[in-house]
Amino acid sequence: MRSEAHTSIPVLHLDEFLLVTDKPAGLLSVPAGGEGRQDCLAARIQARWADARIVHRLDAATSGLVLFARGAEMLRRMSLAFEQRIVGKQYVAVVHGHLAQDDGEIDLPLAEDADNRPRQIVDALRGRRALTRYRVLDRQGAGADACSRLELKPVTGRAHQLRVHLLCLGHPIFGDPLYAPPESAARFGRMHLHAARIAFMHPHTRVPMVFDSPAPF
């Protein structure tokens, strides 16, 4: 069932155990340090459903589906499902240039760039394994206007994983404020990365659940 949450955050599913929300780009998932950075998806949802606990996060610049558990036990169960990698996640992105292959894997370890936080870097010594599968959905344009629309499936869930992996392929995401050229962010206004699908087994009913959100770009 789809309803509207307080403060106009779309809620795709609501029951006594879970909520599935659709976060807009530009909104933090959880509060951050600093003045004026307390408004976030978690706070807005908890203003109406006090027992809601965010299970995973999206970068502020990323839009799309975010799962909340209701109560400590449901949070434990769904957090475990994420740790065991039995939750399916699928993203849509638009990147600069045409990828040479129609599909493939990016297997590059990632670590925090200590001198340029919050940026992440590929680091064979300190990095944790990060694996992304991709498929090209469409290619358009030519030259400086060439772009590709991709379906992305992160097998692991490292910080900025999709953004850094695509940068390493030579195809940064449109409008990425950290990893794309500065003119890209100025031109596109928002990052073209959207969490478009989430699939999991309901922790109480054990019924398979799949939710989709069309990319708004």
List active site positions. Answer: 59
The architecture CATH gives domain 3-88+199-212? 2-Layer Sandwich (3.30)
Domain ranges of the chain: 3-88+199-212, 90-193
CA 60 to CA 74: how far, in whole Å? 25
Domain 90-193 classification at class level: alpha beta
CB 171 within 8 A of CB 179: no
pLDDT digits (tens), the chain, 217 positions:
433 334 589 999 999 999 999 999 999 999 987 676 789 999 999 999 999 999 999 999 999 999 999 999 999 999 999 999 999 999 999 999 999 999 999 999 999 999 999 999 999 999 999 999 999 999 999 998 999 999 999 999 999 999 999 999 999 999 999 999 999 988 998 999 999 999 999 999 999 999 999 999 9
CA dist., res. 11 & res. 22, Å (int): 6
Closest by CA position to 108, among listed 39, 154, 144: 154
